[in-house]
A and B are shown apart, each in its own frame.
Chain A
């Protein structure tokens, strides 16, 4: 057993729902949670005689996303019909893109556990319309809800470049972050905005040779957790199956499995890959999409620095920890806010602490990103500067930030009002220190004799001074005075 090793091989298909106002080929608004079949029209119902009209916004979003994924973006593309019969597909064909996807041959960088980055190649990214939903909740018949039918989806297909469950997760998370940064998808997993289908197998090395296990596609995963767990489960299952049966990859033995979230196992859905013939052909109802180089440049100009690049820059340039940099770049609104505060003169670590320790918590309580707090990044920078200048303590700054959110007032005014301004006036503090020393002879004794209690006694004396000033003494200045007097 010990002379066997294996490599995990995973490729991913991801469906990303774009956050356009209306559907891909009609003017129905996108919906979530509406009454069944409330957001439908003759076009997305596939009524006789109805015709699709392309949503230009969706194409632009798809192009922007493809650019962010370092894809070649097709200046000429078209729409194809993919035929298959299913009750949630009103026309029994899906309008998709076959041989001319909007994006192709790109890559995405992911951050590995060891801090290194890895490049995962993207085979293609194409636009298509979503299907509706079949509901099986009513007695002995099924119902179809077509609210979702026609929603624009960007299907992204990676090369099989991921080699562990955590890499698969990292890719999914990174992709979500990119889509949100670009503002092309809300990336809300709960609402099914991202759906994953990993293709998994193993390359096994044994003394008697190299073997590949049959590829398994796990369908329709809609959480990072399910994605990662299902891959991990498959790795073990395929290894066990290989050891037990010796079955290896052959033509036609790719199978499809579903994920049982309850039991955390994959369940066989289709044993053999069906010989699907989708009879793709260009949709005669739609005209090809030609995009001029100028237009492509215009779209490209809307690209922003991508989250991973930002995260790594925060570590390299500002000396933030990987963790803090990750937190700040998780949402574009946070990172943008952070950078605006830096531009206003805030010290990076100070601003980072204010945002991560208070700002993001408050935002989360309010169920949004930083923008819901109505904070001015310049005011946050001012607050950071006050901490650095010793005007307020770091602890006080946190309280001030909370008040800024609550009242919208400036940090300086709040510091005054809340009596949080530190006293750094050595003359004034000197008198208080003398008083404390006079009142605490034993502690002074402990310090001076450098007894075992010396360190504790210093702290005690410092605390007494702070207490006497009702917390407004700058601890740093007090320490210096104490130090001098107790020499």
Chain B
């Protein structure tokens, strides 16, 4: 076992007890990056010197018995959708390729306050729009399990980095499945928290009412550890929830304690759209829960079929507005030789946005246009309410809902790039959690006939992350899928 195989929890224990130094851990991380990153392409930027300096500082403070944070000395990667005062913040776009943020995102600030060592920022679909990371304008990321396949997206870089042991943990963001789906494709754990649980301040907005930052790890416990650091109210984000309303708990506390009398909800008709290998893995997972004396109950979820349609109206509408600030006037890319100020707008946006971003801006602009608002945006909001209602009803019958993360395992690079609709349909199982604002987790639960990982998705009511993590841990504790490694790191 090498240092890069250690989980974040194991690493921080080893560093805190000075069995190893953070400097060694970070050096080993960069050694692994040097070996595999040329193949994987998980990162858009690396902070070799800064990371070494921070690690050295943590080691010094531990040696001096000074207090250190809960992630002291642990290497971590963050998706390049989070604003940082160090390095560029590109969002995977030509538009922001040379953009340097004047401030740190709250989540980044919290990582630094917890004494984590940020080693780099990871690749992503441009402005988090995509399900394969192929929409990045700035780099190509492959799936560590099969380099001819996508890592999923939009947080593909973070998922691939964790899977390839380039770092033990990472942050991503999830608007319609962008943490859970790449976690599933890359065989790691990925958690999308409840909307409002983690501050969005400094998260470059795609769909503001759906976006949420969350952790990647190789174990449920590592995801819980990161949640302990990033969760909580932030006065700078009005949509982050007051802790008097929904208190944050210690997500590691009692994590290993199985939930007794657990009722797992399943919607068989809805799940039937997944590939046979995915369905088989799901059935096997249900058996695991049965073995843990959980009860499996059937639920309806009649409106989930409309989730994709509603999502691609709401998310694109919000995106069309959120992305209007990238205009070449104040920061970011500006067309070199505009004839007038209108051309500053039109040409800068034409030249610096990729196809998928333009497609979604146009979709969203259309949906919000006078005369179409009621038929599209307002209707989508109504569907969203119905979907919320489905979950409310379901959670009266069960404590957690289990379903696939994605209908397929990782597909081939290039396979769907020319068929956006097909790409969108792959989001069927993840989108509804964003629409309902509830938390969801993806944990490794099998492999298909090609040896590609399959993820199991667990969903629970809003602000029940502690319970969600425990339920996911029940599965993880009974299986060893999370210990499987891609061939490149054997």
* Cα-based distance from A42 to B324 in the complex (angstroms): 16
* Cα-based distance from A412 to B105 in the complex (angstroms): 67
What residues of chain B lie closer than 8 Å to A81, measured between beta carbons? 321
Central interface residue in A85, A87, A281, by most chain B CB within 10 Å: A281
What residues of chain B lie closer than 8 Å to A142, measured between beta carbons? 341
Q: Is the CB of A281 within 8 A of B327?
A: no
**In angstroms, how far is the closest chain B Cβ from the Cβ of A339?**
42
Instruction: Return the contact of B369 from the options A48, A49, A279, A287 (Cβ within 8 A).
Output: A279
What residues of chain B lie closer than 8 Å to A51, measured between beta carbons? 200-201, 236-239
Q: Judge whether A336 is part of the interface by a CB distance below 8 angstroms.
A: no
* Cα-based distance from A284 to B203 in the complex (angstroms): 14
Q: Is the CB of A92 within 8 A of B324?
A: yes
Instruction: Return the contact of B321 from the options A42, A49, A93 (Cβ within 8 A).
Output: A93
Instruction: Return the contact of A42 from the options B102, B369, B370 (Cβ within 8 A).
Output: B102
Q: Judge whether B99 is part of the interface by a CB distance below 8 angstroms.
A: yes
Interface string of B296-336 (1 = CB under 8 A from A): 00000000000000000000011011001111011100000
Q: Is the CB of A48 within 8 A of B201?
A: no
Q: Judge whether A39 is part of the interface by a CB distance below 8 angstroms.
A: no
Instruction: Return the contact of A46 from the options B105, B325, B341, B373 (Cβ within 8 A).
Output: B325
* Cα-based distance from A90 to B324 in the complex (angstroms): 9
**In angstroms, how far is the closest chain A Cβ from the Cβ of B314?**
9
* Cα-based distance from A200 to B80 in the complex (angstroms): 53
Q: Is the CB of B103 within 8 A of A279?
A: no
Q: Judge whether A482 is part of the interface by a CB distance below 8 angstroms.
A: no
Q: Is the CB of A92 within 8 A of B325?
A: yes
What residues of chain A lie closer than 8 Å to B239, measured between beta carbons? 51, 284-287
Q: Is the CB of B208 within 8 A of A49?
A: no
* Cα-based distance from A142 to B238 in the complex (angstroms): 35
Q: Judge whether A144 is part of the interface by a CB distance below 8 angstroms.
A: yes
* Cα-based distance from A93 to B319 in the complex (angstroms): 12
Q: Judge whether A47 is part of the interface by a CB distance below 8 angstroms.
A: yes
**In angstroms, how far is the closest chain B Cβ from the Cβ of A142?**
7
Instruction: Return the contact of A49 from the options B101, B209, B326 (Cβ within 8 A).
Output: B101
Instruction: Return the contact of B205 from the options A42, A49, A54, A280 (Cβ within 8 A).
Output: A49
Central interface residue in A92, A277, A279, by most chain B CB within 10 Å: A279
Q: Judge whether B365 is part of the interface by a CB distance below 8 angstroms.
A: yes
Q: Judge whether A50 is part of the interface by a CB distance below 8 angstroms.
A: yes
Instruction: Return the contact of A87 from the options B101, B105, B326, B329 (Cβ within 8 A).
Output: B329
Q: Is the CB of A49 within 8 A of B325?
A: no
* Cα-based distance from A166 to B368 in the complex (angstroms): 42
Q: Is the CB of A47 within 8 A of B321?
A: no
Q: Judge whether B266 is part of the interface by a CB distance below 8 angstroms.
A: no
Q: Is the CB of B369 within 8 A of A277?
A: yes
What residues of chain A lie closer than 8 Å to B236, measured between beta carbons? 51, 53
* Cα-based distance from A251 to B72 in the complex (angstroms): 68
Query: Given A47-B101, A48-B91, A281-B317, is A90 in contact with B330 using a C-beta cutoff of 8 Å?
Result: yes
Interface string of A30-70 (1 = CB under 8 A from B): 00000000000010011111111110000000000000000
Q: Judge whether A121 is part of the interface by a CB distance below 8 angstroms.
A: no
Q: Judge whether A257 is part of the interface by a CB distance below 8 angstroms.
A: no
Central interface residue in B204, B239, B329, B345, by most chain A CB within 10 Å: B329
Q: Judge whether A163 is part of the interface by a CB distance below 8 angstroms.
A: no
**In angstroms, how far is the closest chain A Cβ from the Cβ of B221?**
29
Instruction: Return the contact of A48 from the options B99, B368, B370 (Cβ within 8 A).
Output: B99
Q: Is the CB of A279 within 8 A of B368?
A: yes
Instruction: Return the contact of B201 from the options A49, A90, A281 (Cβ within 8 A).
Output: A49
Q: Judge whether A91 is part of the interface by a CB distance below 8 angstroms.
A: yes
Instruction: Return the contact of A284 from the options B82, B102, B318 (Cβ within 8 A).
Output: B318
**In angstroms, how far is the closest chain A Cβ from the Cβ of B254?**
32
**In angstroms, how far is the closest chain A Cβ from the Cβ of B145?**
32
* Cα-based distance from A93 to B377 in the complex (angstroms): 18
Query: Given A49-B105, A279-B368, is A85 in contact with B324 using a C-beta cutoff of 8 Å?
Result: yes
* Cα-based distance from A52 to B238 in the complex (angstroms): 8
Q: Judge whether B83 is part of the interface by a CB distance below 8 angstroms.
A: yes
What residues of chain A lie closer than 8 Å to B326, measured between beta carbons? 48
Q: Judge whether A223 is part of the interface by a CB distance below 8 angstroms.
A: no
Query: Given A49-B202, A285-B208, is A42 in contact with B325 using a C-beta cutoff of 8 Å?
Result: no
**In angstroms, how far is the closest chain B Cβ from the Cβ of A219?**
19
Central interface residue in A52, A280, A284, by most chain B CB within 10 Å: A284
Q: Is the CB of A279 within 8 A of B321?
A: yes
**In angstroms, how far is the closest chain A Cβ from the Cβ of B319?**
11
* Cα-based distance from A53 to B365 in the complex (angstroms): 25
| Chain A residue with the shortest CB-CB distance to B196 | A287
**In angstroms, how far is the closest chain A Cβ from the Cβ of B88?**
11
Interface string of A82-111 (1 = CB under 8 A from B): 010101001111000000000000000000
* Cα-based distance from A46 to B103 in the complex (angstroms): 12
What residues of chain A lie closer than 8 Å to B150, measured between beta carbons? none
Q: Judge whether B89 is part of the interface by a CB distance below 8 angstroms.
A: yes
Q: Judge whether B436 is part of the interface by a CB distance below 8 angstroms.
A: no
**In angstroms, how far is the closest chain A Cβ from the Cβ of B428?**
23
Q: Is the CB of A284 within 8 A of B238?
A: no
| Chain B residue with the shortest CB-CB distance to A144 | B329
Q: Is the CB of A45 within 8 A of B330?
A: yes
| Chain A residue with the shortest CB-CB distance to B373 | A281
Q: Judge whether B235 is part of the interface by a CB distance below 8 angstroms.
A: yes
Q: Judge whether B96 is part of the interface by a CB distance below 8 angstroms.
A: yes
Query: Given A42-B102, A51-B236, A279-B368, is A93 in contact with B205 using a C-beta cutoff of 8 Å?
Result: no
Q: Is the CB of B329 within 8 A of A48?
A: no
Q: Is the CB of B345 within 8 A of A281?
A: no
What residues of chain B lie closer than 8 Å to A83, measured between beta carbons? 321, 324, 368
* Cα-based distance from A210 to B277 in the complex (angstroms): 79
Instruction: Return the contact of A50 from the options B201, B344, B369 (Cβ within 8 A).
Output: B201
What residues of chain B lie closer than 8 Å to A53, measured between beta carbons? 235-238
What residues of chain B lie closer than 8 Å to A52, measured between beta carbons? 238
What residues of chain B lie closer than 8 Å to A42, measured between beta carbons? 101-103
* Cα-based distance from A144 to B421 in the complex (angstroms): 41
| Chain B residue with the shortest CB-CB distance to A278 | B370
| Chain A residue with the shortest CB-CB distance to B240 | A51
| Chain B residue with the shortest CB-CB distance to A142 | B341
* Cα-based distance from A49 to B236 in the complex (angstroms): 11
Interface string of A261-282 (1 = CB under 8 A from B): 0000000000000000101110
Q: Is the CB of A48 within 8 A of B204?
A: yes
**Can you list 15 A-B pairs with a CB-CB distance of less than 8 A?**
A48-B326, A49-B83, A50-B103, A50-B201, A51-B200, A51-B238, A53-B238, A54-B238, A92-B324, A277-B369, A277-B370, A279-B373, A284-B208, A284-B239, A286-B238
For the complex of A and B, 7 pairs with smallest distance between CB atoms: A92-B324, A284-B208, A284-B209, A279-B368, A49-B202, A49-B83, A48-B204
Contacts A46-B325, A287-B239 supplied; 17 other A-B pairs, CB < 8 Å? A42-B103, A45-B330, A47-B83, A48-B326, A51-B236, A51-B237, A51-B238, A54-B238, A85-B324, A87-B341, A93-B324, A281-B321, A284-B208, A284-B209, A285-B239, A286-B239, A287-B238
